[in-house]
Amino acid sequence: MADTSSLVADATVVTPERDIARDLARRAVWVAPVFVVVGAIGWGATGAASSAIALALVVANFLIGAAIITRAVSISLNALYGAVLFGYLIRLGALAVIAVVLKGSGDWFAAVPFAITLLVTHLGLLTWETRHVSASLAFPGLMPQPVPQVTPEENHSK
Amino acid sequence: MLNVLAQTAAGEMVEGLKAIGAGLGYGLAAIGPGIGIGTVVGNAISAMARQPESAGMARTTMFLGIAFTEALALIGFVVFILLLP
C-alpha cells in the first residue's frame, strides 16, 4: 500500500465532488423553470410549489453529499467510509422527515409532482453531468473549459 | 387487542396499515443501495490507497457512483411518499 498522507494533504486542494455538485446545482437552476411550469400546468400553484421544493431537496442532497466527502477525505480514508455511509442514512432519514412534515402541513402540497420532479431531476441531472465530467489524471473533476483562440488579426487589432 | 381494534373507526385501520407499509417499504428499499454504496466507497478507498496520485479521479467516480446508487433509494422514497396517508 502506498503512503496516503499526501492524499489527505491534497484533499483540500483538489475537490472534484464539490465542483461537480456545484455544477449540478447550476444546471438545476437552468431546468427549474421547466419543472415549476409543468407542475403549475398539471396541479396548479400547489404543483409548482411542490416541484420547486423537490428541486431544492435534490440540489441540497447533492451539495451535502459532496460536502461530507470533502470534509471526511481530509481527515482519513476510514473517516470517509464512515461518513459516506452514515451520511447516506442521515440524508434518507431527513428526506423522510421532510416528506412527512410536508404531507401533514396542509393542502398546498401535492405528492405526485413532488415525487416525479425528485426522481426525474436526480437521474436527469446526473446523466447530464456525466457528459461534462472528465475523470482523468490531469482533470479529475469537470472537463476543462475551452480557451477562446485569438486569431492573428484580432491580436493586431488590439 | 380485539378491544383496541374494535374501537378504531372503519378507515383508521387501513390508514395505519398504509403508513406501516410505506415505512417498511422505504426501509427495505434503502438496504440495497446501502450495500451498493458500501461497495462503491470500499473500492474507491482501495483505489485511493493503492494509487494516491489518482485519488481525484477515484473521488469523482465514487461521487457519481454514490449519486446513481442513491437514485434506487429515491424510488423507494417516492413509493413511500405516495403511499403515505
Indicate the domain borders of chain A. 15-139
Q: What is the mean pLDDT of residues A30-35?
A: 94
Q: Does A28 touch chain B (CB under 8 A)?
A: no
* Reported confidence tier of residue B6, pLDDT bands at 50, 70, 90: low
Distance from CA of A18 to the nearest CA of B (A): 9
User: Under a CB-based contact definition with an 8 Å cutoff, are residues A110 and A42 in contact?
Assistant: no
DSSP helix, strand, coil percent of chain A (3-state; round to 5): 75, 0, 25
- According to the model, what pLDDT value does residue A6 have? 55
**A77 to A84, A153, B48, B55: CA distances (angstroms):** 11, 53, 8, 11
* Reported confidence tier of residue B15, pLDDT bands at 50, 70, 90: confident
Q: What is the mean pLDDT of residues A92-101?
A: 92
* Reported confidence tier of residue A29, pLDDT bands at 50, 70, 90: very high
Evaluate if residue A8 carries a pLDDT over 60.
no
Residues on chain B touching A134 (C-beta within 8 angstroms):
60
| A45/A42 Cα distance (integer angstroms) | 9
Residue with cell 396541479: A43
- According to the model, what pLDDT value does residue B67 have? 94
- According to the model, what pLDDT value does residue B58 have? 92
CB–CB contact B64 A6 (8 Å): no
DSSP helix, strand, coil percent of chain B (3-state; round to 5): 95, 0, 5
Evaluate if residue B4 carries a pLDDT over 80.
no
* Reported confidence tier of residue A52, pLDDT bands at 50, 70, 90: very high
- According to the model, what pLDDT value does residue A153 have? 73
CA-CA-CA-CA dihedral for A57, A59, A64, A67, to nearest 10: -170
What 3-state DSSP class applies to A102?
helix
Evaluate if residue A2 carries a pLDDT over 70.
no
Q: What is the mean pLDDT of residues A56-71?
A: 94
Q: Does A69 touch chain B (CB under 8 A)?
A: yes
Residues on chain B touching A118 (C-beta within 8 angstroms):
74, 77-78
Write the pLDDT tens digit of every residue in B40-63.
999 999 999 999 988 889 999 999
Which among B84, B10, B13, B57 has a CA at the least distance from the CA of A133?
A: B57
- According to the model, what pLDDT value does residue B78 have? 92
- According to the model, what pLDDT value does residue A67 have? 94
Which among A4, A147, A98 has a CA at the least distance from the CA of B45?
A: A4
- According to the model, what pLDDT value does residue B1 have? 59
Q: Which of residues 72-101 of A touch B (CB under 8 A)?
A: 73, 77, 80-81, 84-85, 88-89, 92, 95-96, 99-100
User: Under a CB-based contact definition with an 8 Å cutoff, are residues A117 and A42 in contact?
Assistant: no
User: Under a CB-based contact definition with an 8 Å cutoff, are residues A48 and B16 in contact?
Assistant: no
Q: Does A6 touch chain B (CB under 8 A)?
A: yes
Residues on chain B touching A1 (C-beta within 8 angstroms):
49-50
Q: Could you tell me the pTM of the whole model?
A: 0.85
Residues on chain B touching A69 (C-beta within 8 angstroms):
59, 62-63
Distance from CA of A130 to the nearest CA of B (A): 8
The CB density around residue B42, as the number of other CB atoms within 10 Å, is 14
Higher-confidence residue of B29 and A2: namely B29
CB–CB contact B56 A20 (8 Å): no
* pLDDT > 90 in chain B, percent: 60
**A74 to A13, A58, A62, A70, A101: CA distances (angstroms):** 10, 25, 19, 7, 35
